[in-house]
């Protein structure tokens, strides 16, 4: 679907940048742009958000050098160094695309134990949001808290060897990690038909040829604040709570 046919409701002015308002979220830059240019050039500095509260954001660090996760206005920027990762809680970073929301009011929903995996979660988020009056035809944010049995996640690391970025090199430029039985907060954005904008076409948890489209972009932050990154797959545990916007 062409972006012009999507519900783009205007450029963002609060930050003084050329961002796009899309449903209950806002974004700048697109994933597909790096495949056109072959470069992961910064389109925004996180310092633009220095005075903003109740901010939730996810995106990749410029140059394929890390992951950006902002939870309730606190940044968690992780980068891979020697197969481990570093954590930085400052705004001294740029993103080559970023999606965010400023949301102060949430309503909680208990996640049933029958919802375990990535695809089940994607369906549950849409169903519950619709039941609570959220327009699911437009993008919206959500949060999840609890202790999943397992999360498979990654941090971007530049493995292009100086070559122009292609889809193949983009997939290669990821360092995988696994977190088990650890309390986390999850920041998510639900959107249909935004593949290549801020939704990845490639989602490891969705089987190729299944006909299921990826509609969620999710990041984790461990409750101890020591780890953060992009979630590829997960197995939820008991006592998980989904938080949806209260309109």
User: Considering only CA atoms, which of 197, 160, 195 is closest in space to residue 64?
Assistant: 160
Q: Do 158 and 83 have their domain in common?
A: no
Percent residues over pLDDT 90 in the chain: 89
Residues 67, 133: Cα–Cα separation, whole Å: 32
User: Considering only CA atoms, which of 89, 46, 42 is closest in space to residue 64?
Assistant: 42
Q: Do 120 and 234 have their domain in common?
A: yes
Q: Do 127 and 204 have their domain in common?
A: yes
Q: Do 72 and 50 have their domain in common?
A: yes
Specify the pLDDT at position 201.
Answer: 81
Task: Kindly report, residue by residue over 36-86, the tens digit of the pLDDT.
Answer: 999 999 999 999 999 999 999 999 999 999 999 999 999 999 999 988 999
Q: For residue 165, what is the domain's CATH number?
A: 3.30.1330.80
Q: Do 210 and 115 have their domain in common?
A: yes
| Residues 156/165, Cβ–Cβ less than 8 Å | no
Among 102, 133, 161, the domain-final residue is 102
Q: Do 172 and 235 have their domain in common?
A: yes
Q: Do 88 and 178 have their domain in common?
A: no
Q: Do 68 and 111 have their domain in common?
A: no
Q: Do 115 and 226 have their domain in common?
A: yes
Tokens representing residue 81 in the block: 């160094």
Q: How many domains does the chain have?
A: 2
Among 53, 74, 102, the domain-final residue is 102
Q: Do 77 and 124 have their domain in common?
A: no
User: What's the pTM?
Assistant: 0.92
Q: Do 46 and 120 have their domain in common?
A: no
Q: Which domain holds residue 26?
A: 3-102
Q: 107 pairs with which residues across the strands?
A: 244
Q: Do 149 and 44 have their domain in common?
A: no
The answer on pLDDT for 99 being more than 80 is: yes
Task: Kindly report, residue by residue over 155-203, the tens digit of the pLDDT.
Answer: 999 999 999 999 999 999 999 999 999 999 999 999 999 999 999 987 9
The answer on pLDDT for 15 being more than 80 is: no
Among 77, 102, 127, the domain-final residue is 102
Distances (CA, A) of 141 to 106, 172, 180, 235: 10, 28, 25, 20
Close Cβ partners of 96 (under 8 Å, ≥ 6 residues apart) = 29, 33, 34, 40, 41, 42, 43, 59, 60, 61, 62, 63
């Amino acid at each position: 679907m062409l972006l012009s046919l999507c519900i783009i409701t205007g450029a963002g002015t609060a930050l003084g940048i050329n961002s796009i308002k899309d449903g209950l979220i806002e974004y700048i830059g697109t994933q597909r742009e790096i495949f056109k240019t072959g470069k992961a050039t910064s389109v925004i500095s996180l310092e633009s958000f220095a005075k903003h509260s109740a901010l939730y954001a996810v995106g990749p660090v410029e140059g394929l050098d890390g992951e950006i996760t902002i939870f309730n206005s606190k940044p968690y920027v992780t980068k891979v160094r020697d197969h481990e990762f570093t954590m930085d809680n400052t705004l001294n970073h740029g993103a080559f695309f970023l999606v965010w929301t400023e949301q102060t009011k949430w309503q909680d929903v208990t996640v049933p134990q029958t919802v375990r995996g990535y695809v089940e979660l994607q369906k549950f988020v849409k169903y519950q949001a619709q039941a609570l009056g959220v327009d699911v035809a437009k993008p919206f944010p959500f949060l999840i808290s609890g202790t999943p049995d397992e999360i498979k996640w990654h941090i971007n690391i530049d493995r292009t060897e100086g070559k122009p970025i292609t889809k193949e090199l983009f997939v290669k430029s990821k360092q995988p990690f696994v977190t088990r039985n650890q309390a986390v907060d999850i920041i998510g954005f639900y959107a249909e038909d935004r593949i290549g904008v801020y939704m990845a076409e490639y989602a490891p948890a969705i089987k190729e040829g299944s006909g299921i489209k990826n509609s969620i972009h999710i990041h984790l932050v461990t409750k101890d604040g020591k780890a953060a990154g992009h979630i590829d797959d997960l197995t939820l545990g008991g006592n998980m709570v989904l938080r949806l916007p209260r309109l």
